[in-house]
Structure formats: C-alpha cells, structure tokens
C-alpha cells in the first residue's frame, strides 16, 4: 500500500495486509487499547488508505491483547472530557474517516472487552464478530457525558429502537453472548476464535465478491437518509443497469458455471458510479 503500509509510521495501531485483506489492530494492550487521539487519527488514516487501495478487498479491525478497546483513556482523570469553554473544534466522533465510508466490507473482530468508544466505533462497521466473554457497554451516560460516535444513529439501525434505548439509556454492561442474541453481533465465539472467523469471512469476500458490486451494495445499506421503498427500487434498477453487461457480470456467471474462483477486472477507480457520492443519494433517472 502507500505510506505507512508497513505500519512504521503508526504508534497506536498495527496495520497488516495479506491476500486482499487488511487488518487494523488497536495496539495499546497495556491500557486495554484505551482510545487515544493518536489512535483515532491513525485508524482514520488507515481506513481511508484501505478505501483507496484497489488491492484491499476487505478490512478487519481488532484489538491487541485481551481487550478490543476499553473506551476513552482515563489516565488524565476527570480532565479527560476537557472543558466546555473554548472547545470550538470538539467533535463527538474521533474519526475523520469512518468504516461506513470504506467501499469495502469492514469487519469488527471484537476479541475482548468493548466499552464506550470501544463499542460505538464497531457499530460503524458492517459485520461484528464478538468474544462470548467480552464485557461490553455504551456507558457514557454513567460518566456524565453521553454516547458518541454517531451511536444514536447506528445502534437503532442495527438492533431497533427499543433495544437501542435500553442499551444507551441504562448504560448497563452486557456480554458478547447478549450482543449476538440481540443482533448487535453476527456471532459470539471463544475469544481465540474471533479473529480467525473474521479472517475467514474477509477472505471469502476477497475471493468471491465482485469489488464494485459489493461497494455499491454497501453504499445503499448506509444511505442517509434511507431511501423510501420506491426510491430504493429505482436506485437498485439504475445500479443494475450500471453493472449488467459489464466484464464482472459476465465473469461472475462464467466462474460459477466453470466451478472456479472469479477473476474480477472492474475497479472502483474506473467503474464507481460517482453520483453515489452525493448525500442523499438521488437516482439519475429520477432527475431526468
């Protein structure tokens, strides 16, 4: 990849790339990967590089050691939340580039405890695999602040309004088993199986899923505001017309018939429908 591809310029994360899959590891294990400003900047930088590099087909975010992320770094004591005076540059989300913006599937491999930001940032990912024994919580209402990182938007989309209200408004802790039962995670596994399972999913995507097709599908899933039923039908129709009759649609069928892995040739650089970059998404057909 480009600068920092070997992780040399990163201090609070580790970046590795192999066979189409990028792995970003939160790397402050002595502090249970407590979230620092440097970690936020480096995570955002790595995510943006993953979006731009055509070789990356799927991304995993995980944690070093026994925790995924214990939340904000409280080493500064009460000063961690700063002062309301003069904080004109404050943002409740520490990422300038988000997992939902990456045009490849992003998997959170939650290998251990995930609290505060350690839980709200995985909500920005597409798929979550979690350790059964992980202690989790969006606890900010118990710290005198409030949940962050777009969690009032992401969590209801994932688990529904009622469950999101219970999680956010009580600030109570829950386990990885609970997370899977509620639909917050796809699977709850033994901690040492979380990353291998995420890698299995990522490599399945990297091998079998057409890069432009999956990018377009992800964009519709994260559309904001969500299109109406009729608008979504029109978007899906327009995007089928973008993809049908193109090299990857032919290759996908041939690979299936030949019982072999596909060899995709379309790229985001050359084949991404740029009108999808607009927010809200508006079908070109509806404008004509």
Class of domain 210-287: mainly alpha
The reported pLDDT for the residue numbered 87 is: 56
Q: How far is CA 92 from the centre of its chain?
A: 17
Residues 8 and 145: their CA atoms lie apart, in Å, by 35
Tell me if 13-206 shares its fold with 210-287.
no
The reported pLDDT for the residue numbered 287 is: 72
CB-CB contact of 189 with 132 (8 Å): yes
Sequence spans of domains, the chain: 13-206, 210-287
The reported pLDDT for the residue numbered 80 is: 54
CB-CB contact of 10 with 4 (8 Å): yes
CB-CB contact of 127 with 105 (8 Å): yes
- The predicted-structure confidence for 84-109, as pLDDT tens digits, reads as follows 655 556 688 999 999 999 999 999 99
The reported pLDDT for the residue numbered 4 is: 43
Residues of the chain with pLDDT under 70: 1-8, 76-90, 288
Question: What is the DSSP secondary-structure string of 1-63?
Answer: --TTTTSTT-SSEEEEEETTEEEEEE--GGGTT-B-HHHHHHHHHHHHHHHH-TT--EEEEEE
Residues 208 and 262: their CA atoms lie apart, in Å, by 6
The reported pLDDT for the residue numbered 145 is: 95
Which numeric CATH code is attached to 13-206?
Answer: 3.90.226.10
């Amino acid at each position: 990849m480009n600068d920092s591809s070997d992780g040399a310029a990163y201090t609070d994360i580790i970046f590795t790339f192999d066979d189409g899959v990028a792995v970003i590891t939160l790397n402050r294990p002595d502090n249970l990967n407590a979230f620092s400003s440097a970690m936020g900047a480096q995570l955002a930088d790595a995510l943006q590089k993953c979006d731009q590099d055509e070789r990356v087909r799927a991304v995993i975010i995980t944690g070093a050691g026994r925790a995924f992320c214990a939340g904000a770094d409280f080493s500064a004591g009460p000063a961690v939340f700063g002062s309301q005076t003069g904080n004109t540059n404050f943002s409740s989300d520490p990422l300038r580039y988000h997992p939902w913006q990456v045009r490849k599937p992003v998997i959170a491999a939650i290998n251990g405890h995930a609290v505060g930001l350690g839980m709200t940032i995985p909500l920005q990912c597409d798929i979550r695999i979690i350790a059964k024994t992980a202690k989790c919580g969006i606890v900010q209402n118990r710290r005198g602040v409030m949940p962050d990182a777009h969690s009032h938007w992401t969590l209801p989309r994932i688990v529904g309004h009622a469950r999101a209200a219970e999680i956010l408004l009580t600030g109570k802790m829950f386990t990885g088993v609970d997370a899977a039962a509620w639909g917050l995670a796809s699977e709850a596994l033994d901690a040492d199986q979380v990353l291998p399972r995420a890698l299995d999913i990522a490599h399945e995507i990297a091998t079998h899923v057409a890069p432009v097709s999956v990018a377009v599908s992800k964009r519709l899933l994260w559309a904001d505001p969500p299109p109406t039923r009729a608008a979504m039908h029109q978007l899906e129709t327009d995007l089928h017309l973008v993809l049908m009759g193109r090299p990857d649609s032919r290759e996908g069928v041939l690979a299936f018939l030949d019982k072999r892995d596909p060899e995709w040739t379309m790229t985001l650089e050359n084949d991404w429908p740029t009108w999808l970059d607009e927010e809200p998404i508006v079908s070109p057909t509806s404008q004509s």
